């Protein structure tokens, strides 16, 4: 039995979503907080976090994180891609050549100069496949 959860309407959450859909930045919680404090002077940062997480739950926004909240250290200093198991969280180096053409391809989509890229694959590792 999944926990049931109902969402009520909230002006603050509504405005947070509007702020996010209205910008091409990738805002942090504090940015949202600073913007919205002008309209709701009593707004609390904790509530911004709560609503951002609810919007993620609802699938209305995405949280761009990477490998979780821990720093990870790697003695393999050569450029390489990573695989992250969605079930157990283990991280594996992927032994395939770097696709440098992607840098050129991506450069052409905007007025930017690209030096390198990082890539992470997500799925299930051998252990978790069984």
Within 8 A by CB and 6+ apart from 90, the residues are 84, 125, 127
Judged by beta carbon, residue 12 or residue 103, the one nearer DNA is 12
C-alpha–C-alpha distance, residues 100 and 98, integer Å: 6
What is the nearest approach in angstroms of DNA to the Cβ of residue 10? 3
Query: Taking phi first (over 0 means left), then psi (-120 to 50 degrees means alpha), and beta for anything else, what does residue 72 get?
Result: beta
Nearer to DNA, 45 or 106 (CB): 45
Question: Would you count residue 42 as binding DNA (CB under 7 A)?
Answer: yes
**Contact pick of 18, 40, 94, 117 for DNA (by CB under 7 A):** 40
What does 7 bind: its own copies, DNA, none (CB cut-off 5 to 8 Å by kind)?
DNA
């Amino acid at each position: 039995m999944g926990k049931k959860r109902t969402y009520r309407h909230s002006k603050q959450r509504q405005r947070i979503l509007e702020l996010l859909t209205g910008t091409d930045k990738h805002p942090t919680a504090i940015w949202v907080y600073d913007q919205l404090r002008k309209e709701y002077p009593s707004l609390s940062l904790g509530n911004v976090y709560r609503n951002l997480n609810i919007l993620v739950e609802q699938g209305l926004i995405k949280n761009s994180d990477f490998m979780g909240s821990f720093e990870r250290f790697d003695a393999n200093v050569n450029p390489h891609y990573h695989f992250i198991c969605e079930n157990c969280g283990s991280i594996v180096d992927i032994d395939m050549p770097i696709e440098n053409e992607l840098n050129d391809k991506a450069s052409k989509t905007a007025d930017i100069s690209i030096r390198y890229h990082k890539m992470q694959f997500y799925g299930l590792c051998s252990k978790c496949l069984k």
